Structure 1
Amino acid sequence: MEIFGFDLAYVFIGIISGIASGLFGIGGGMIIVPFTLILGLSSHHAIAMSVVQMIFASVFGSYINYKKKNLNLKDGLFVGLGGIIGASFSGVVVNFFTDITLTAVFLCINIVFFLKYAFSIQNPINSEQKGKFLKNFILVCAGIFTGVFAISLGIGGGLLIASILGYFLGYDSKRVVSLSLFFVIFASVSGTISFVTQGVIDESVVKNGIIIGLGSMLGVYLGIKIVQNMKLDAHKKALLAIYILSISLTGISLLRKLGIISFSL
């Protein structure tokens, strides 16, 4: 359905993904990619559309976090630097793999992250016990690794950043939210440029990505409001629920692409 030229399905997806961005510091791709795959888009277009949307969500959300003094800007710049380097290769990675392969990889990444976050044991050496150089080195490397793989899958990388920084630097799930969302700014801009140069993004992808992005701005505002009042345990449980939703939708999409099940929305 369209109202005033806007596809309401994309607006709704944007709001939901924006709430997830504000709550968990993610780009929103774990919501956008599975939902748009269910709607029948190819993995390449779903991923590219998600990355375009991330620019809106991450910039707006980081501005709010900065105004509220919730953003560690220095740490964010080191992670962002790594993200720029890693995400610059994302367009090449997307063009290298087939649609089914990308969907399967996305599903596997989701499952691994879910198990890691749900059952991992935190590194006993936290950020305060590490030297400044080692801490900054971990931040940059986390950005590079996440930028290469996450942007190629259209997921922004906030969840992967949270997992890495939580283990190596001792950041809890709420502390890393604003840092993760700030990282997405660098990764999404770099990834979008890479997608354009590799011919992955066309006019329809940009249009729908902008629609989702505008919806996500409202969602980000709501998500940041919610996370400020959430207890840490409840925050972790909500994040695990996001993992399960993304895994379920992506699994259904992969089965459909493989011809094992046949239906469309």
Structure 2
Amino acid sequence: MAIAEVLLILLGLVTGVASGLLGIGGGALMVPGLLAWGAPIQQAVATSLVAVFINALSGSFRNWQTRDIHPRGSLGLALGGMSTAQLGAWLAGWLPSWLLAFSFAGLQLLTIYLMGLRRRLAQTQPSQETPEQPPKQFFLTMMGIGLLAGTLSGLFGVGGGVVMVPLQMLLVGIGIKQAVRTSLGAILLISLSGLWRHSLQGNVLWVAGGLLSLGGVLGAQLGSRTLPKLPEQQVNRLFRLLLLLMATYTIIRGVESL
């Protein structure tokens, strides 16, 4: 196996561990990693979605087996997000590389803030699985959240969970565990929608995406099993620092493409 292929598996492993530890997708790390590997940013965004989809499929199947899934909530998020994922993927192919790189760096910085917000909400809000809103209003709210998450997914090659989880907690009133599970089910369909559009545009590196997925599935298992042994505060600080470094690197790549 070539060194380049081993590096992709290792990148997937690292992002998978982060996903298992923190309950978020690995797109914020995979895209800069693919840039460093040598892929143009449009291909990095598209290829990241391969691993995002496979990771969501693995996690959703596990939640389905344990019956820890909210089909109505996931469907609402997915219906909102699948259409805008198409829009985001189209924009990714249309925007100049430098603008896409700068925008992605902004998303990474936003992710740092949203991780802190999610942590504060988890500490202050009661853990509940039943939404506070009536069924119709709940479904419409979930669709609205999905519209935003789908755009980010298609445009930046991420799952969108970093946005969907705190917004569910803020706007719908469910606990963090249920919000994570619901988001994961939606990411399965949203990422597939964006991936389909990117594939039509010829941006997906399928072999690279498969290798990322292999490392990601292994890493997610390792991360979920390691989580109880690590202090949460230190893990969050380390990941935020890593995101900050990745955002800086992405900005540098954007400057180089001007």
Q: Which of the five TM-score ranges fits, normalised by the shorter chain?
A: 0.7 to 0.9
> Counterparts of 1:201-212 in structure 2 under 5 Å?
201=204, 205-212=205-212
Pick aligned residue for 2:250 from 253, 257, 260: 253
C-alpha distance in 2, partners of 1:86/1:26? Answer: 20
Between the aligned residues of both structures, percent identity stands at 22
| Deviation (angstroms), 1:110 | 1.9
Match of 2:62 in 1: 64
Runs of 4+ in 1 over 4 A off after TM superposition: 119-127, 234-237
Which 5+ residue runs of structure 1 have no aligned equivalent? 261-265
- Shift in alpha-carbon separation, 1:238–1:70, aligned structure 2, 3 A: farther
- Shift in alpha-carbon separation, 1:116–1:58, aligned structure 2, 3 A: closer
Q: Are 2:236 and 1:218 aligned?
A: no
- Shift in alpha-carbon separation, 1:235–1:179, aligned structure 2, 3 A: farther
C-alpha distance in 2, partners of 1:179/1:259? Answer: 39
C-alpha distance in 2, partners of 1:230/1:181? Answer: 24
C-alpha distance in 2, partners of 1:167/1:40? Answer: 39
Segment drifting more, 97-106 vs 171-180: 171-180
Match of 1:242 in 2: 239
C-alpha distance in 2, partners of 1:7/1:26? Answer: 24
| Deviation (angstroms), 1:257 | 4.1
C-alpha distance in 1, partners of 2:112/2:41? Answer: 21
Pick aligned residue for 1:38 from 36, 39, 46: 36
Q: Are 2:79 and 1:81 aligned?
A: yes
| Deviation (angstroms), 1:230 | 7.5
| Deviation (angstroms), 1:103 | 1.1
| Deviation (angstroms), 1:240 | 5.5
C-alpha distance in 1, partners of 2:17/2:115? Answer: 20
Contact 1:18 1:223 in 2 (8 A): yes
C-alpha distance in 1, partners of 2:182/2:21? Answer: 12
Deviations 1:105-129 (A, max 9, x none): 0111221232244258759899643
Contact 1:11 1:214 in 2 (8 A): yes
TM-score, normalising length from structure 1?
A: 0.83
Contact 2:101 2:253 in 1 (8 A): no
- Shift in alpha-carbon separation, 1:219–1:171, aligned structure 2, 3 A: farther
| Deviation (angstroms), 1:147 | 0.4
Contact 2:13 2:212 in 1 (8 A): yes
Contact 1:103 1:250 in 2 (8 A): no
> How many pairs does the alignment contain?
252
Contact 1:52 1:206 in 2 (8 A): yes
Q: Counterpart of 1:137 in 2: which secondary structure?
A: helix
Give 1:185's aligned amino acid. Answer: L
Match of 1:132 in 2: 135
Q: Are 2:152 and 1:155 aligned?
A: no
Match of 2:201 in 1: 198
Contact 1:61 1:220 in 2 (8 A): no
Match of 1:263 in 2: none
Q: Are 2:110 and 1:112 aligned?
A: yes
- Shift in alpha-carbon separation, 1:143–1:24, aligned structure 2, 3 A: farther
TM-score, normalising length from structure 2?
A: 0.85
| Deviation (angstroms), 1:246 | 2.1
Deviations 1:68-94 (A, max 9, x none): 333223322221222212212222111
Which 5+ residue runs of structure 2 have no aligned equivalent? none
